[in-house]
Amino acid sequence: MDKRPLGLSALKVVPLAFGGNVFGWTADEKMSFALLDAFVEAGGNLVDTADVYSHWVPGNAGGESEAIIGKWLKQGGGRRERIVLATKLGKPMGPDQHGLSPAYMQRALDASLRRLQTDCIDLYQSHEDDPHTPLADTLGTFQRFIEQGKVRVIGASNYDGARFAEALRVSREQGLPRYETLQPEYSLVAREAYEREYAALVAREKVSVIPFFSLASGFLTGKYRNAADLEGRARSGMLKPYATPRGWRVVEALRDIAARHGATPAQVSLAWLMAQADIAAPIASATTLDQLRDIVGALGLALSAADLAQLTAVSG
């Protein structure tokens, strides 16, 4: 039985998402095209991006990732029909370009559709909460987008548990579309916040989870064995929160299980996530074809009950 609610099930999502944050940042246009082609050929279909990607890069204004995806889609060959297209709005793009007010949401949607060169976004997500806009106003605007055929399903990212629960209540009480998906951080080395704040809520409400940082910014790929391996790395600051005694025990367990299956630590880590209740599709990124082949290999990896129990215990 499909564990996902009707809203997301209708999109027929393959349980692994490609993170488009790298497009226009660490993957140029040519490589981005190659990665997207390889992802689809390997059986993946959910491509997740955001209008703000990659605003943080010097010289970028935001929208670079969406523009690259749009150019890729424009090549034709059935590309649009083969993917589930997800993007997000709400994070700052510039002065007076942020939030979830109805007026700004209309501007953001029009800009994303233009960059993506499509007439419909399959999964449109609030990238972060806007405490200054009533939830009913935001959800009512999403309703209009859905009625216009420009959006199919909506979701949310970076909402705290109480606010997300409130959004679901407002949808239910006012007959508005609800957030069918939630994007929180969740991985073998970042379990506590999700399991404390969201797990019971999404299970009760039958919301599908699309976790980001599924490989903990590369910490769970197996390339790092100990703290010395992080020294001098450009991303060491991002990785150090995971580099705890527990984190290194998780890495050791991943390598052990991967060896037994002829797999890689990244594949084992993603397969553990896919096996968790309410997880629809963990998000993983790649900047090379080798990395892409590694992550999509998780789709064919079936972990045993003992494997799953070992990982759950060591990461708990």
Q: What is the pLDDT of residues 118-176, one digit of tens each?
A: 999 999 999 999 999 999 999 999 999 999 999 999 999 999 999 999 999 999 999 99
Cross-strand bridge partners of residue 209: 182, 279
What's the pLDDT score for residue 3?
Answer: 42
What's the pLDDT score for residue 238?
Answer: 83
> Which pLDDT band holds residue 302 (cuts at 50, 70, 90)?
very high
CATH number given to 6-222+264-303? 3.20.20.100
What gap in Å lies between CA 138 and CA 103, rounded to an integer? 10
Mean pLDDT value of segment 261-286: 97
pTM: 0.95
> Which pLDDT band holds residue 234 (cuts at 50, 70, 90)?
low
Both tokens assigned to 115: 């960059």
Place of tokens 């991002």: 238
Find the farthest-apart pair of alpha carbons in the chain and give their distance in angstroms, rounded. 55
What's the pLDDT score for residue 30?
Answer: 98
Mean pLDDT value of segment 99-112: 98
Sign of the Cα torsion 125, 130, 133, 135 reads positive
Mean pLDDT value of segment 294-302: 97
Is the pLDDT confidence value at 235 over 80?
Answer: no
The mean pLDDT value of the chain amounts to 95
8 Å CB contact between 256 and 295: no
Is the pLDDT confidence value at 90 over 70?
Answer: yes
What's the pLDDT score for residue 237?
Answer: 77
What's the pLDDT score for residue 7?
Answer: 74
Is the pLDDT confidence value at 296 over 60?
Answer: yes
CB-side neighbour CA atoms (13 Å) of 101? 9
